[in-house]
Chains A and B, each alone.
Chain A
């Protein structure tokens, strides 16, 4: 496989090219034409399909290829996440189409039929299509258990009324449909052979500050909502930056490190509007509405299409900061996180693995690999607990007797990461760690020493970045928010880097913060993935409901283009699922997120505690 095709096929569908998370502005044609096909993500799929003769050149492909102005914004965005430069694919796509047309190649016209005609009547001519090129970009994702399904139609409605009419029409013709968020799903939920409804045009955000809520359209991505909220002095509890908020609630309920205080699932919204399967519109707050607060431990269907959600707004104060509290063991980290949650210390709490400090903060995978060893071997940091809180919360951690990297130190560490690799003085820390681990963090002048020793600067951080992109990234990391742990955790733009090497599949469970149980399950996740030769790593744990329960993510990785790894992943997922079911049956306190899928509007208590599930 040549490099261009390899890049095209390596797109993870994380949709980071669909949000302006670096301040570069969006891909112009994507923002204008809205279909994913016009974003770099769609173009990557199209080029791969053309190069492998899986699709013919269609009218839309010509439009898609020609509308790319090769601005290169996608290189910045994609490099930030995966270290790939998609612009070579964009160029190759244009070239492929040009050569094809120069040779007088036949252009496949989109077929039309009465259903498509009806759909166009509802949403407008441009916003419903049967073009095979557009359909292809909605036909697959990197999930190893979902087979590609080419939809007959792709529809982009712009209002609840349009959605209702579309659903009614599709029902009338018995056309199955799937609703698509921003392009990546865990289990292939977003594909259908009938129609795919893309809600990406419905991006309305309406604040009701008096009621501490924001009404969010179904096409609003987490990053954009957080940005709009922050501009008004609020925070929302959202997940991955490119995930659409309504879809995210619908799927699994939103959880983040902030769920330690803001909660999850029904805690995050006040009301929501749906188009039911029958095309009728209902509000969750209506007495006659289906009871989506309830939960049943079973594989469920979605209750309809969420067309807007009224999301809770949270205040934040100017004295917020972060603490990275290092630990030598998972047990120590869990004890601390539980205690913080029980005492209601901190807004966001997460027990993180070494991957966080290395993969998330490093701009390249080479640096990530080098510093990961240093954190573990020299600084003896196996786990760390990230706490975000106001000054009172952070002072409490000190009073509890824990040493931590504060906001300033985190910034120094981040911008000085490359210096860590050759830092001889870390040998002293290593030896000292054996006597009194992390005690250097309590030294008043330690940040000054770090600053002298690591010589932190944007230029230093990006020294291994592709020379072509280096000037951009140097400017990027000079922006304060890019090294501000509070901002980074609100906007979560660096967590997508966990998929930098390979596509990631998260195994997620809810359970008590029981050290023995968690250690056992953690070992089991590892054992299973290791037995299939799959890369795997501890993800994170966040306390829920004041530390009575937590959400635990363990990550499996695969090369989604490797059939052998896909097969191994399917087997590993099945085995891990059986393991979770076994613990669930034995303890009565372990819930697999599989059962929360499509029930994300339920009350968290309904799936965190077995009494509700048992009835």
Chain B
């Protein structure tokens, strides 16, 4: 496929291509021989083209660069920050659009920035979509835009007033905005809602190490602090926390993980996400939501046992309930609980995501069960990549 130019009918304009999901969508399209028009920004002095080149190298598909076109854009600016002629030319091509760019911060302190990136910036990209002959506007959202009001989450417009964090809220607002503007402008659109995406289940490779990875990484680094203490400082601080190396040479790290209820964590591997989204955009059904989720979500007990096995530790205990004031019994437990705070709603989640539309689009293809082997593969890759520091 190298160097083959495809017609505009086969091309997609993709935003967020430098992100985790966006880059996989880009790679998936390129491997299918589809041309991709990348719209995005330079970052930290690195041009958009260079950022994408690095990613192509990571995917091992540098030879497909010829299928790419680049537009440095700013979605908060008029005409996406493009010159008039350039904008008109791009608009006239009628590309289908996959809008994947977003700010994934959960923090309330970043509310303004998140709402600006995820909702406000939609105005210009939707203006562009409506003014052009776009075949379809695909909006990458999140399963959690469903909010917290209902356990049953259909593949339908958001019907919730309550959200876990500003990210979910912004995505819900964005979905409404996309639906409204596209309907008014008589443009086809889809809303695509993945749950929590981890690395490639086959290779373990990943570009991002938050969500599933963050707690494991936190525990690994907490573990290493106390292993150092035992090795270099006679384990004085470890003993104060009840931490020791047992007879089998395994570190006993007594950490309780508090979860509010007996829920699950809905995980899908990125390779499944990519396959699914490519199927959806192949034959999109307009005004349709697609849940790219697992019907067999994991529970924290199993993830804790996977983590213990992988990190060669014991002592992790899952506790249902909320810790009271002063209940944290030691420093690692308290620190880990603090690190986990932002993710807590997702590890004890009772929501059930229907996926009829997705099943129809994918002929019932489901994500693999999250076995220890997949977990080990993913975490081993993460460790070898120093949790993202040695990726490129």
Which residues of A come within 8 Å of B, CB atoms?
424-425, 427-428, 431-432, 434-437, 439-440, 443-446, 448-449, 451-453, 455
How does the 8 Å CB contact mask read for B93-128 relative to A, with 1 for contact and 0 for none?
000000000000111011000000000000000000
Judged by a CB distance under 8 angstroms, whether B10 is at the interface is no
The main secondary structure of chain B at its interface with chain A is helix
B13 → chain A closest CB, angstroms: 29
Q: Tell me if B338 and A440 are in contact (CB < 8 A).
A: yes
Q: Tell me if B221 and A448 are in contact (CB < 8 A).
A: no
Residues of chain B with a CB closer than 8 A to A436's CB:
107, 109
Within 8 Å by CB of A428, from B226, B328, B339, B389, lies B339
Q: Tell me if A448 and B330 are in contact (CB < 8 A).
A: yes
Judged by a CB distance under 8 angstroms, whether B217 is at the interface is yes
- Chain B residue nearest to A425 (CB atoms) is B221
> Count of A-B contacts with CB under 8 A?
72
Task: Report, nearest first, the 8 A-B pairs whose CB atoms are least far apart.
Answer: A452-B237, A445-B331, A449-B331, A435-B107, A448-B331, A425-B221, A453-B225, A445-B334
B233 → chain A closest CB, angstroms: 5
- Chain A residue nearest to B229 (CB atoms) is A452
Judged by a CB distance under 8 angstroms, whether B342 is at the interface is yes
Q: Tell me if B224 and A446 are in contact (CB < 8 A).
A: no
Which residues of B come within 8 Å of A, CB atoms?
105-107, 109-110, 210, 214, 217-218, 221-222, 224-226, 228-229, 232-233, 237-238, 240-241, 326, 328, 330-335, 338-339, 342, 387, 389
Residues of chain B with a CB closer than 8 A to A443's CB:
328, 331, 334-335, 338
> Could you name 13 residue pairs across A and B whose Cβ atoms are closer than 8 Å?
A425-B225, A427-B387, A428-B218, A431-B214, A432-B338, A435-B109, A444-B334, A445-B330, A445-B331, A448-B240, A448-B241, A449-B225, A453-B228
| Extra A-B contacts (6), CB below 8 Å, given A425-B222, A449-B225 | A428-B221, A432-B338, A443-B338, A444-B326, A452-B229, A455-B228
Residues of chain B with a CB closer than 8 A to A428's CB:
217-218, 221, 339
Q: Tell me if A455 and B226 are in contact (CB < 8 A).
A: no
Q: Tell me if A449 and B335 are in contact (CB < 8 A).
A: yes
A435-B105, A439-B338, A448-B237 known; A424 vs B331 contact (CB < 8 Å): no
User: A455 to B233, alpha carbons, bound, how many Å?
Assistant: 7
- Chain B residue nearest to A452 (CB atoms) is B237
Residues of chain B with a CB closer than 8 A to A445's CB:
328, 330-331, 333-335
Residues of chain A with a CB closer than 8 A to B330's CB:
445, 448
Residues of chain A with a CB closer than 8 A to B229's CB:
452, 455
- Chain B residue nearest to A424 (CB atoms) is B221
Residues of chain A with a CB closer than 8 A to B328's CB:
443-445
User: A322 to B228, alpha carbons, bound, how many Å?
Assistant: 30
Residues of chain B with a CB closer than 8 A to A437's CB:
109
A563 → chain B closest CB, angstroms: 37
B216 → chain A closest CB, angstroms: 12
Residues of chain B with a CB closer than 8 A to A424's CB:
221, 224
Residues of chain B with a CB closer than 8 A to A432's CB:
338-339
A438 → chain B closest CB, angstroms: 11
User: A448 to B107, alpha carbons, bound, how many Å?
Assistant: 27
User: A435 to B104, alpha carbons, bound, how many Å?
Assistant: 11
B195 → chain A closest CB, angstroms: 20
- Chain A residue nearest to B337 (CB atoms) is A443
- Chain B residue nearest to A419 (CB atoms) is B228
Residues of chain B with a CB closer than 8 A to A455's CB:
228-229, 232-233
User: A249 to B210, alpha carbons, bound, how many Å?
Assistant: 57
User: A92 to B237, alpha carbons, bound, how many Å?
Assistant: 49
- Chain B residue nearest to A445 (CB atoms) is B331
Residues of chain B with a CB closer than 8 A to A451's CB:
237
User: A428 to B110, alpha carbons, bound, how many Å?
Assistant: 19
- Chain B residue nearest to A455 (CB atoms) is B233
Q: Tell me if B225 and A452 are in contact (CB < 8 A).
A: yes
User: A431 to B388, alpha carbons, bound, how many Å?
Assistant: 12
User: A427 to B218, alpha carbons, bound, how many Å?
Assistant: 10
User: A437 to B110, alpha carbons, bound, how many Å?
Assistant: 11
User: A445 to B226, alpha carbons, bound, how many Å?
Assistant: 14
Residues of chain A with a CB closer than 8 A to B218's CB:
428
User: A234 to B226, alpha carbons, bound, how many Å?
Assistant: 43
User: A439 to B387, alpha carbons, bound, how many Å?
Assistant: 22
Q: Tell me if B335 and A440 are in contact (CB < 8 A).
A: yes
Q: Tell me if A434 and B238 are in contact (CB < 8 A).
A: no
User: A351 to B242, alpha carbons, bound, how many Å?
Assistant: 40
User: A218 to B225, alpha carbons, bound, how many Å?
Assistant: 53
B4 → chain A closest CB, angstroms: 41
User: A446 to B342, alpha carbons, bound, how many Å?
Assistant: 18
Residues of chain A with a CB closer than 8 A to B110's CB:
435
- Chain B residue nearest to A437 (CB atoms) is B109
Q: Tell me if A446 and B335 are in contact (CB < 8 A).
A: yes
Q: Tell me if B342 and A452 are in contact (CB < 8 A).
A: no
Q: Tell me if B105 and A452 are in contact (CB < 8 A).
A: no
Residues of chain A with a CB closer than 8 A to B333's CB:
445
User: A451 to B221, alpha carbons, bound, how many Å?
Assistant: 15
B379 → chain A closest CB, angstroms: 16
B139 → chain A closest CB, angstroms: 25
User: A157 to B334, alpha carbons, bound, how many Å?
Assistant: 64
User: A103 to B5, alpha carbons, bound, how many Å?
Assistant: 91
Residue in B106, B226, B335 whose Cβ sees the most chain A Cβ within 10 Å: B335
- Chain B residue nearest to A426 (CB atoms) is B221
Residues of chain B with a CB closer than 8 A to A431's CB:
210, 214
User: A446 to B389, alpha carbons, bound, how many Å?
Assistant: 26
User: A571 to B106, alpha carbons, bound, how many Å?
Assistant: 49
User: A444 to B214, alpha carbons, bound, how many Å?
Assistant: 22
User: A452 to B333, alpha carbons, bound, how many Å?
Assistant: 14
Residues of chain B with a CB closer than 8 A to A453's CB:
225, 228
A378 → chain B closest CB, angstroms: 13
Residues of chain B with a CB closer than 8 A to A439's CB:
338
B227 → chain A closest CB, angstroms: 10
User: A439 to B229, alpha carbons, bound, how many Å?
Assistant: 24
- Chain B residue nearest to A439 (CB atoms) is B338
User: A444 to B210, alpha carbons, bound, how many Å?
Assistant: 25
Residues of chain A with a CB closer than 8 A to B106's CB:
435
A448-B241, A449-B335, A455-B232 known; A435 vs B221 contact (CB < 8 Å): no
Residues of chain A with a CB closer than 8 A to B107's CB:
434-436
B113 → chain A closest CB, angstroms: 11
Residues of chain A with a CB closer than 8 A to B389's CB:
427
User: A165 to B338, alpha carbons, bound, how many Å?
Assistant: 72
User: A453 to B237, alpha carbons, bound, how many Å?
Assistant: 9
User: A436 to B111, alpha carbons, bound, how many Å?
Assistant: 12
- Chain B residue nearest to A454 (CB atoms) is B225
A246 → chain B closest CB, angstroms: 49
Residue in A437, A443, A449, A455 whose Cβ sees the most chain B Cβ within 10 Å: A449
A362 → chain B closest CB, angstroms: 21
Residues of chain A with a CB closer than 8 A to B105's CB:
434-435
User: A451 to B237, alpha carbons, bound, how many Å?
Assistant: 7
B144 → chain A closest CB, angstroms: 17
Residues of chain B with a CB closer than 8 A to A449's CB:
225, 331-332, 334-335
Within 8 Å by CB of B331, from A427, A435, A452, lies A452
Residues of chain B with a CB closer than 8 A to A446's CB:
331, 334-335
- Chain A residue nearest to B243 (CB atoms) is A452
- Chain A residue nearest to B240 (CB atoms) is A448
A445 → chain B closest CB, angstroms: 4
User: A427 to B225, alpha carbons, bound, how many Å?
Assistant: 13
Residues of chain A with a CB closer than 8 A to B226's CB:
452
User: A443 to B326, alpha carbons, bound, how many Å?
Assistant: 10
User: A446 to B217, alpha carbons, bound, how many Å?
Assistant: 18
User: A444 to B335, alpha carbons, bound, how many Å?
Assistant: 9
Residues of chain A with a CB closer than 8 A to B338's CB:
432, 439-440, 443
